[in-house]
Structure formats: C-alpha cells, structure tokens
Amino acid sequence: MALNGIKVVEFGGQAPVPFAGLVLQDYGATVIRVDKPSSSSSDILSRGKRSVAINPKVPSGLEVLKKLIASSDILIDPFRPGVMERLGLGPEVFLGKTGKPGLNQKLIYARIAGFPRIGPYKDMAGHDINYIALSGALAMLPGPNERPGFPLNLLADFAGGGLICALGILLALFERQSTGSGQVVDIDMVSGARYVSSFPLMHRLYQSTSLFSGKPGTNLLDGGAPFYNVYTCKDGGFMSLGCLEPQFFKTFIEHFVEALPNDSKQRFGWTPDPSVQFDRDQWPKLKQYLEFGFKTRTRNEWEATFMGTDACAIPVLTPEEAKHLEPSGQLYPSPHPKIASQSQQSPSPQSNELLLLTGKHNEEILRELGLTNDECLKLIRDGAMEGVKSKL
C-alpha cells in the first residue's frame, strides 16, 4: 500500500475531515481519531481507524496528545481557525517558529475550514450549502421554482473539502521527501468547491461558449437539453439520458422510436429524427415526446432496449441496487482509484466496523506511546480520560 507506515492523527469532526482520513487509511495509512471523552460518534467514515478519547484541556491530556502528534506524520484539524492554537496544539508547537524548533518539524499539518481564512466570513459557522452558496457554484445549479438546487452535501464537504484535503496532504508528503520538512496545508471548502467547479465557472465567467450562459435549467448540461436529462418510466423508475454527441443521439433516437408501441407513435402524432437534436426551437416538443415515450415501458425494459449500445441511456439505480457493483455485495463504496502495483483489497464488512466506538483503543494507543500504568491512572484521576478498560 502506498501509505504504509504513515501515521495520521485525525481530530474528530464532521464529513470532510473523516473522509480525508478514510482516503488515507484506505491506501495504507494508520489513522488514530482523537475524540472527546464521554462523546458518542455517529461517524460512518471510520472503518479501519482507531479511537483515543482524551481531553486536551487537562494538562496531562494535552501532554499525551503532544506526544502522539510528535510521533505522527500527519495531523488533520477540523476546527474553526484558532481553536487548535487555543488548545496549545497549533502548528508552531510542532513545526516551530523563527528561532525555535518544534516538536515535529516533519509534520504535515492539514487544516480544513469552511470559509476562507481571510475575509468577513472566516469566524462564522456554516455547512456545505453555505459554502457552495458563497463559491458561485450553487447559483448555477437548477432547482424547483427557479431556486437553486443543491447536490446533497457532496460538492463542498467531500469533493472540495475531504478529497482536496487528501490531495494536499499527498502533495506535502511528496515535497517532504526532498525537503525533509513538514508544512501547513490549508483547505477551505468555499475555495475547494470553486476549484472542483472550474469547468462551469470558467465557461460562465469567460463566456467562451454558450454552454452555461443561460438561466439554470436551460443549458446543455443542467437539464435544459432534452437529450441530457432524467426521465420517469412506466413503473416509477428512472432512466438517465446523456447522448450529447450527434452519433450517440442518432443511436438513441433510433432505438427509442423503434421500441415504442405502435399506438403510442400514432397518439403523439410526431416522430423526431436525429436532425432535431440541436434545434432549440424543437427542444420543448422533443422533451414532451421523450417524457411520453419513457412512460410506455418499465425501467428494466428500457435498460434492456439500450444495453450494449452507445445510446448513453442508463437506468438510475437506487443505493441498494448499486451495491452489486461492490465486491461481495458490501454496503459501502470501495476505495478508488485502484492501483495495479499494490495489493489493495476492499475491507471485509465482517472485520471493519462502520461506526467506531469512542475511546475503544485508549489502552492500545497509550501503550504504543510508552505510557506507564501510573501515567495512565493519572490521566483518569485528572479527568483527561475515562477509565481505561484493562489491567492498569
């Protein structure tokens, strides 16, 4: 595995941070999640990780965390700007500052914030929908009643946050090979969402094409084009249609027309041919025709019609149906990309918990750090840690 031997400390947080940690763990890193004592975690992105529950606001707990981070390669900070500094765990403690060495000058210190660290929003709370709102991307997403729609919490939390964070960490690790030094990697989800939205934003801002020049829901890739859309079938299932290129649209429309019942063709009173694809005046009529036609057959029947063709017509699977794409029908997505030179295997559902019990690995991690029984008991007496569940 590419990241074997890399040690990661992930402070417990929401969505982007555990996803960044999961990506690193899936490719061989050892990830320890730092939780608050007495907290319960509902984080489902914790497979393969370990948890230590310790309070950094207690001096003895703070010292243990410093020791843990000093022996690690990567720290992932999920908090608002300034929180880690106030806890006494800021970057300068480990990376040092002018004239003063730090505890771990090879540390990659990754920080995920919501809003940019400079500007009027830097100290404000927010969530994915707020970050994509500020990024300019949300305004381009079509939704009901002429309001922007939003794609779950995928764009900022996971694409612009967690995945960009993992990328930044890998770049810093690569640079460390030549410099021998760690560094701070700053990620904010507004900027990350903008970066992963480069294609539509650049088309819109530079007006190089008319691809995204219209209102949301009227353009080629946002539901405006009838040949790039989702349609309801007879049984309530859905088919996705994405035949942008003329040759693909020709394949689609020929198969579609041929598959319609004879009486359906007569009832609609119009049959499109490939020449109507980019005639915008015909789009409303073509869309009505496709809506009407898709409702004459079930999703599975349409899937069979287009299977093996270049029509770009694919059934919309539910999450339960899509799990057949995973090895052994496991419930969660496999790590991706697959790297041929590595013996990477998807974790077994039986051997990997989806939910990680807070503090489950307290004793194991303290032993690895070399703490004695007396030092462990002191943590409990100080209130830095709850009872370590073994023979101390």
What positions carry a catalytic annotation?
Answer: 127, 157
Nearest to 110 by CA among 69, 68, 71: 69
Helix (H) or strand (E) segment spanning residue 27: none
Residue 183, strand partner residues:
108
Q: How far is CA 140 from CA 106, 192, 201, 360, in A?
A: 41, 16, 9, 44
Residue 33, strand partner residues:
10, 51
259 CB neighbour count, 10 Å cutoff = 16
Residue 343 identity (one-letter amino acid)? S
CA angle 280, 281, 286 (to 5 degrees): 80
Nearest to 58 by CA among 80, 88, 101: 88
Q: Could you give the CA distance from residue 285 to residue 267 in angstroms, rounded to a whole number?
A: 14
Q: Could you give the CA distance from residue 243 to residue 250 in angstroms, rounded to a whole number?
A: 9
